[in-house]
Amino acid sequence: MSLGLYVHLPFCRVHCTYCPFVISTDVSQQERYVEALLAEIEARSVAPPTSAALSVESIYFGGGTPSRTSVENLKRIAARIRERFDVAPGAELSMEANPEDITAETLREWRELGVNRLSIGVQSFNDAELEPLHRVHTAARAREAIALALSAMPRVSLDLMLGLPQQTGESFESTLQQAIVTGVGHISLYMLDLEERTPLKTLVERGRIEIPDDELVAMLYVQAVETLARAGFRQYEISNFAREGEECRHNLRYWTGGAYFGLGVGAHSFDDGRRFANTRNIRTYIESGGDAVDFTEVIGEAEERRERLFLRLRQTSGIHYEELQRLCGQEGMQWLDRGLRDGWLRREGEHVAFTPSGFLLSNELISQLF
């Protein structure tokens, strides 16, 4: 039995136009926020189901922009976690960072507090594509930051986005090739999703910004899977590609149904068949005294079945043939036959999984099994 910890650090320099996450650009709240976070760590470590007894094998500082949180506060958070939880030797400690925050000095400080995996939010190596996102860094700054990170961190990952304003097939291919030649061991490739109430969605709806059409995005995604495979990056999940041994252990915990606690505003947790989440209101969280849960549900049999199908099928390892049959019966076998015939499923040994083109329609296709 083991546990993963996700720590949400919401502070950002600017609010990117596509971002739907719980963030704040008001850094004056940071000290009070961290005090509330420390209180929640204390409360989680003693609350049932038993948690302190579980070995923590992964910690993930996400956001927001964790690299905007002061090193002093990061040290306080890491120290409190180690005081209150049994952190396994060799545990993965990931941290998200933006290129503009990465220097030789910050890297040294992050390593001292235990960070051994850095995930850098590059998104694109094209300045014209970064501008409408309100990203602070330039492509040149991203390349500099990656080189510094590779010299200091055991493992480095890059986040890239597909379907951005101004993006063409040629510009995306250039971004992908530049990411590959950096020498990083992991690349996450996310397709732009125009979330409700984001500035970018409003601009697109009003015709002030254009984004690539779905057909081009689909073609570029399939090509990216092939390009990354040739470069030695194995796709292990719909959006994630890694050289051997570079998979993100924390995210694999989500996809394999492992237990994890989410700490901080808006953070989600899953433990012992129960899902719960903190308030998305930063002020409410700060005033909570470490008890900010505002949503709880016990996973029933039907929901557990849906989640098992969804999580298994978003991985390239897929689902065992017999498990699919057990969960879905004859309807599942008919679904499998259609997928193999139409090319959106593949079968390897006793497992079935989506092809790259199938991943593009995976939500719709999996819903046919419910």
Strand 268-271 relative to strand 55-63, pairing:
unpaired
Q: Which two tokens stand for residue 204?
A: 């697109």
> Could you tell me the pTM of the whole model?
0.94
Please list the alpha-helical segments (H only) found in 159-281: 169-181, 199-205, 214-230, 249-255
Q: From the centroid of its chain, how far is CA 259?
A: 16
Instruction: Identify the pLDDT of residue 51.
Output: 52
The DSSP line for 51-115 is: -TTSEEEEEEEEES-GGGS-HHHHHHHHHHHHHHSEEEEEEEEEEEE-GGG--HHHHHHHHHTT-
How distant, in Å, are the alpha carbons of 40, 255, 359 from that of 235? Answer: 35, 14, 12
Opening angle at CA 257, ends 303 and 34, nearest 5: 105
Burial class (CB in 10 A: 0-12, 13-18, 19+), 320: middle
List the chain residues with pLDDT less than 70. 46-53
**What is the C-alpha separation between 198 and 179, in angstroms, rounded?**
27
Instruction: Identify the pLDDT of residue 197.
Output: 80
Instruction: Identify the pLDDT of residue 345.
Output: 95
**What is the C-alpha separation between 247 and 188, in angstroms, rounded?**
10
- Domains along the sequence of the chain with CATH: 2-255 (3.20.20.70), 301-367 (no CATH)
Instruction: Identify the pLDDT of residue 246.
Output: 97
Cis peptide before 207 (omega within 30 of 0): no
Q: Which two tokens stand for residue 343?
A: 């090319």
**What is the C-alpha separation between 188 and 239, in angstroms, rounded?**
6
Cis peptide before 154 (omega within 30 of 0): no
Amino acid of residue 266: G
